[in-house]
Amino acid sequence: MDIQLATVNDAKEIANMSRDYIEEGLDWSWTEAKVAYAVREPETIVAVAKTGDLLTGFSIMFFKESTAHLSLLAVKPIYRRLGIGRELVSWLEESAKTAGTFYISLEVRKNNTVAQNFYQNLGYIPNNIVEGYYQQKEAAIKMVKDLSVA
Ligand SMILES: CC(C)(COP(=O)(O)OP(=O)(O)OC[C@H]1O[C@@H](n2cnc3c(N)ncnc32)[C@H](O)[C@@H]1OP(=O)(O)O)[C@@H](O)C(=O)NCCC(=O)NCCS
């Protein structure tokens, strides 16, 4: 398994994974065009986990001046619990450190306790709840990690 930068050829599969595994029950916002834009955008890293040509997971991180925001992360169901999610996050954290960015934030759906546990396991700390964050349908748990402390 390899973690690498996505190309625009990966955009459709990433968008479909976002629709099916992350945005389920919400209006689909991460369309192929939006993912392709993120792939080209210099302030954004779109990382994919691949075994040969097979894409098993992806993650998207936006870089701001002194912080980074982990926006999306998903692993295909049959490849879960194999450490791929952890590898993707670790790869992005290393990228952030290389860029001199040590503060990572993210939001996770309030009902998504699996992802909350996953992130807590990786050292992310819940620090806020935002009601209606997801299209007024669901609250978000905000989580943060200070890589300089971690
Ligand atoms: C959250 C997600 C990305 C985790 O990916 P993964 O590759 O299965 O995670 P890992 O195998 O790296 O798991 C790392 C640790 O997280 C915890 N964890 C992951 N999935 C878990 C589950 N279903 N139940 C309990 N703990 C879990 C475990 O502590 C695990 O370590 P262990 O397997 O050694 O016990 C994956 O479940 C997923 O794609 N979910 C749907 C999309 C989503 O919710 N994305 C996050 C919000 S954008």
Cα–Cα distances (Å) from 108 to 7, 9, 52, 71, 100, in that order, read: 25, 27, 30, 9, 25
Amino acid 139 reads: A
Closest Cα to residue 88, out of 110, 70, 112, 106?
A: 70
Ligand 1: which atom is nearest the Cα of residue 87? 12
Give the alpha-carbon dihedral of 143, 147, 148, 150, to 10 degrees.
90
Contact 92, 59 (CB under 8 A): yes
The single residue listed with the structure tokens 């997801």 is: 134
Distance 83 CA to ligand 1 centre (A): 8
121-131 average pLDDT score: 97
Tell me the percentage of the chain whose pLDDT exceeds 70.
99
Q: Is the CB of 21 under 6 A from ligand 1?
A: yes
pTM (2 decimals)? 0.97
pLDDT at res. 96 = 95
Residue 149: pLDDT band (50, 70, 90) is confident
Q: What are 48's strand-pairing partners?
A: 4, 58
* CATH of the domain spanning 2-146, picked from 3.40.50.2000, 3.40.50.300, 3.40.50.2300, 3.40.630.30: 3.40.630.30
Q: Is the CB of 112 under 6 A from ligand 1?
A: yes
- The 10s digit of each residue's pLDDT in 29-72 is 999 999 999 999 999 999 999 999 999 999 999 999 889 999 99
